[in-house]
C-alpha cells in the first residue's frame, strides 16, 4: 500500500505518522526537541538549528522503522510547524537559532533581531519558517506555503504570492523570502543528505505543507461548508470557509474577517463589506451588532496536525483530485471506525457528534 508521511514540529516534540491511501494510520512516532531557551520578556523560544534538524530526522527514522513491510512504499512527506523564523547566510548556514514566536509576530521579531545585530543584515540571504528550514536542509528547495504567509498577514490571494507592497513597507528585502506554493504542491525531493538524516529510502517528494493549526483543521471536518474552526487552546479563531465548493488551500478566504474568541463553543464570523476596510469588533460579544455577524457552532474537535500534513501529501500525489473525494472517503473511514470501536453511551445521552 502506498503511504504518505506527515511530520509536525512543535516547541518540545516532533510528531510523525504514516497515512494509507484508505486514510488508515499505519504507524506513529515522535522525538523530543532539546536545548530550547525562552527569552526573558519576549516569550520567544530559541532552539539550536542543528537540534531542530536532528529531531525531525530522528522522528522520521523512528516512523519508518515501525512501519509494516506492506506500508513502506512511500510517495512523500507533508510538513507542518509553528510560527517562527530562521535566517541563513550566503552559504545557507543558519545565522541564528530557530526562533518560535507566541503569535504571528514574525516580522516584528525579525526587525528587532536585525536592529540588535546590525552587522548581520548584510549577511542575510534567506529567511525561512521553521518547517521550511527543515525542508531546505533535507531537499535544497527554497519554498513556503500559502498558510504560512497568510498567518503573517503578507499573503496576496490574487497571485498566491507575498504581498510585495507590505514587504517593502516593512523595510525588509523581498529577496530574503522564498517562493509561495499551494499547501499540497510538491516542492522538491529528498536529496542524499536528507535520505541519510531521515533514514528514508528513495528520493521522496516533500509538499509545501501548512502551519500546525491549519494542518489540524484539514481532517477535522468538511471545510467546504460555511463553518469556522477554533483551536482548542483558547486562542482566537484562525479559519473560515465560505460557499466555494472546492477551495484550493486551507487559508482564510477573501471576504471574511475573524474576530472575538470562542465563547460557549461559538465563534463570531463577520463578512467584510467592500467599504468596511480592516475594522474589527472590539467590544464584548453582547455588544456586537447581530446584523453584521453570524454565530456558528464550533463543537468539532481538531485532529492531529501531523495527520493533516499527511493528507496534504496525499493531495500532492494526485490521489485526491478534489475535496469532495477526500471528505467522502473520510466519512467512510470514520463510519468504519465507529462500527469497530463504538463510543460508550450514557443511558441515551448524546453520542459522538458527526463531523
28: left (phi over 0), alpha (psi -120 to 50) or beta: beta
d(CA 299, CA 221) in angstroms, rounded, equals 11
This prediction's pTM = 0.78
User: How many Cβ atoms from other residues are within 10 Å of residue 343's Cβ?
Assistant: 8
Q: What is the pLDDT along the chain (355 residues), one digit of tens a residue?
A: 899 999 999 999 999 999 998 888 999 999 999 999 998 888 899 999 999 999 999 999 999 999 999 989 999 999 999 999 999 999 999 999 999 987 668 888 999 999 999 999 999 999 999 999 999 999 999 999 988 887 787 877 777 788 888 888 888 889 999 999 888 899 999 999 999 999 998 899 999 998 887 787 777 655 544 444 443 344 443 343 333 334 444 443 333 333 333 333 333 333 433 333 333 332 233 332 333 334 444 444 457 899 989 999 998 998 877 767 777 777 777 677 666 555 544 444 333 333 2
Question: In sequence order, which residues have a C-beta less than 8 Å from that of residue 6 and are 6 or more positions away?
Answer: 16, 17, 18, 19, 77, 78, 80, 215, 305, 306, 307, 308, 309, 310, 311, 312, 313
Domain ranges (residues) in the chain: 2-216+303-321, 222-297
The rounded radius of gyration (Å) of the Cα atoms in the chain is 21
CATH code for the domain defined by 2-216+303-321: 3.30.420.40
Q: Are 75 and 313 in contact (CB under 8 A)?
A: yes
Amino acid at each position: 500500500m502506498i503511504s504518505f508521511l506527515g511530520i509536525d514540529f512543535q516547541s518540545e516534540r516532533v510528531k510523525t505518522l504514516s497515512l494509507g491511501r484508505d486514510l488508515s494510520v499505519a504507524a506513529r512516532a515522535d522525538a523530543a526537541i532539546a536545548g530550547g531557551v525562552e527569552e526573558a520578556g519576549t516569550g520567544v523560544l530559541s532552539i539550536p538549528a542543528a537540534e531542530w534538524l536532528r529531531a525531525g530526522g530522528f522522528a522520521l527514522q523512528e516512523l519508518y522503522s515501525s512501519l509494516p513491510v506492506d506500508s513502506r512504499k512511500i510517495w512523500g512527506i507533508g510538513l507542518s510547524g509553528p510560527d517562527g523564523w530562521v535566517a541563513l547566510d550566503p552559504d545557507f548556514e543558519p545565522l541564528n537559532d530557530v526562533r518560535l514566536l507566541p503569535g504571528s509576530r514574525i516580522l516584528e521579531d525579525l526587525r528587532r533581531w536585525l536592529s540588535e545585530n546590525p552587522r548581520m543584515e548584510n549577511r542575510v540571504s534567506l529567511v525561512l519558517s521553521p518547517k521550511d528550514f527543515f525542508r531546505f536542509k533535507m531537499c535544497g528547495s527554497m519554498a513556503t506555503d500559502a498558510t504560512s504567509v497568510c498567518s503573517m498577514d503578507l499573503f496576496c490571494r490574487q497571485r498566491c504570492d507575498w504581498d510585495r507592497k507590505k514587504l517593502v513597507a516593512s523595510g525588509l528585502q523581498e529577496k530574503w523570502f522564498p517562493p509561495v506554493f499551494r499547501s499540497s504542491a510538491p516542492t522538491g525531493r529528498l536529496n542524499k543528505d536528507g535520505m541519510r538524516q531521515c533514514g528514508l529510502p528513495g528520493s521522496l517528494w516533500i509538499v509545501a505543507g501548512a502551519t500546525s493549526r491549519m494542518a489540524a483543521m484539514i481532517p477535522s471536518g468538511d471545510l467546504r461548508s460555511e463553518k469556522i474552526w477554533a483551536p482548542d487552546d483558547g486562542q482566537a479563531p484562525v479559519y473560515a470557509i465560505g460557499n466555494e465548493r472546492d477551495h484550493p488551500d486551507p487559508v482564510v478566504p477573501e471576504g471574511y474577517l475573524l474576530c472575538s474568541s470562542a465563547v460557549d463553543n461559538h465563534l463570531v464570523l463577520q463578512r467584510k463589506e467592500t467599504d468596511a476596510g480592516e475594522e474589527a469588533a472590539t467590544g464584548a460579544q453582547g455588544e456586537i451588532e447581530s446584523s453584521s455577524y453570524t454565530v456558528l457552532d464550533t463543537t468539532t474537535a481538531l485532529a492531529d496536525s501531523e495527520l493533516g500534513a499527511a493528507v496534504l501529501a496525499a493531495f500532492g500525489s494526485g490521489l485526491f483530485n478534489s475535496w469532495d473525494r477526500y471528505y467522502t472517503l473520510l466519512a467512510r473511514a470514520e463510519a468504519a471506525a465507529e462500527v469497530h470501536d463504538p463510543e460508550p453511551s450514557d443511558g441515551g445521552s448524546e453520542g459522538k457528534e458527526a463531523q
